[in-house]
Amino acid sequence: MLIIKVGSTFPELAAAGDFENWTADGTGLPQNALRVWDAVCAPHDPPPGDWRGAVITGSHAMVSDREPWSEALAGWLRNAVTAQLPVLGICYGHQLLAHAMGGTVDYHPRGREIGTVEVRLTDAAGRDPLFGDLPPVFFAHATHAQSVVALPPGAVLLAGNDDEPHHAFRLGRLAWGVQFHPEYDPFLMRAYVTAQADALAAVGRDWRRIRSAVRATPEACGLLRRFADLCAPATAAQD
């Protein structure tokens, strides 16, 4: 499986790993079954057909900035979706997948969503191969300033809440985006709230209350392992 790294965490969290490490841990796969492609720094992109699946990590960058590396990755994603490579985009990856396939990404009109949030599935999620076994309502960790404000044509909405209507969607059979962070545990979520405390306080947000409300999110955290399990039979049929 390919993990596409599109950014790095805060320097003060580096001792705990980075996006690609947390994502790899979440899949439950051994290290020899995973490869990391740093799409920001690496000049050569791997062909989509070389992999059983791909996960695009989160980032502190903004999709709407249209940075050259990001736009190049958007083109790679279009080819991957066309080739029916199983894809899971997380936060920035979710937004970039939407942008690549014709959706619209911009700053969240209600400001940053951050902390442990409630996510509700749509009726369509009950028939989805990745989301079908999740409960109708579950908790997930989130931190994002931008959002998918308009889904791509043909996308199936799978989950949302009152603050973020597009928490998850599917394109075709095998491409998913999730705005929440299945790779975060409570320690990481609290650390992200603390790291952004000044910015939250500046807009009148009670960051201590947000941090104290962080809780375990077993259903959301299981998504990466479910995606890894889904990839093997999905691609074995093509071998």
Catalytic residues: 91, 181, 183
- For residue 115, the cross-strand partners are 142
Q: How many Å is the Cα radius of gyration of the chain?
A: 17
User: DSSP of 34-47, one letter per residue?
Assistant: -EEEETTT-SSPPP
Decide if 116 contacts 217 (C-beta within 8 A): yes
Angle at 235 between CA 232 and CA 239, to 5 degrees: 120
Pairing of the two strands 113-121 and 137-144: antiparallel
